Structure 1
């Protein structure tokens, strides 16, 4: 699992007093930075490999300014050229967000997906999600 702490900003708070729903995908992406480094350790955009093909976010509770949020990111499934993530955002003891995101290992120069190398798959397996009492 990858964990990232987010400090909510005033500018992310909407008129009803909670963090705006348009902010959540940006926070989820911030929680994937260590995952991106597995595919591209130098964060080189000319060799970027990760392309989103599907994302689904479920809003379970409101998130508020003034209290840190914790992003948790697991690998749910590893395919030949793709991987599915399972993600959560917690504030305090409340699970506020669950999300599922599918990425493809994509060669931007050739504009096509490519198999995930075995060396990367073995690292990804260290972060597999194990559903326990959910």
Structure 2
């Protein structure tokens, strides 16, 4: 598991006084950086170097997030396939799960324009961060 703490900014608050729902996409994207660094330590986005492409994301809001308190982001690997893997995220505030979501990331060769198998050493690194039993109990699909 990877964790990151985010301090909400005033500009992330919506008209209802909550953290805007669009903010979670950015926060979860930032929380994936440690996983991205497994594949490209310098986060070099050149098509000659970068080996990943996003295929899918979703977010489920189960509680409100507020401006006044820090948010803990928890990031796990939920599933590892041959050419893709699923990242599972949670956003916690004041001991409450407020948002959870997933992202499917595909191992990709931009030059060839095709998916490629995840190298075994990367699969092993990803496996070290699998969702443990009991996390998101009753929420996971």
Structure 1 unaligned regions, length at least 5 = none
Q: How does 1:24-39 map to 2 (within 5 A)?
A: 24-39=24-39
**TM-score w.r.t. length of structure 1:** 0.96
Paired with 2:55 and 2:63, the residues of 1 have a C-alpha distance of 26
- What stretches of structure 2 of length at least 5 have no aligned partner? none
- In the TM superposition, 1:1-20 aligns within 5 A as 1-20=1-20
Partner SS, residue 127 of structure 1: coil
Count of aligned pairs: 134
> Which string of whole-angstrom CA distances, capped at 9 and with x for unpartnered residues, describes residues 12-41 of structure 1?
001110000011111001111100100111
Note the aligned Cα RMSD (angstroms): 1.0
| TM-score between both structures, scaled by the size of structure 2 | 0.91
Give the equivalent residue in structure 1 for 2:83. Answer: 81
Please give the secondary structure, in 1, of the residue aligned with 2:36: helix
Show the counterpart of 1:98: 100
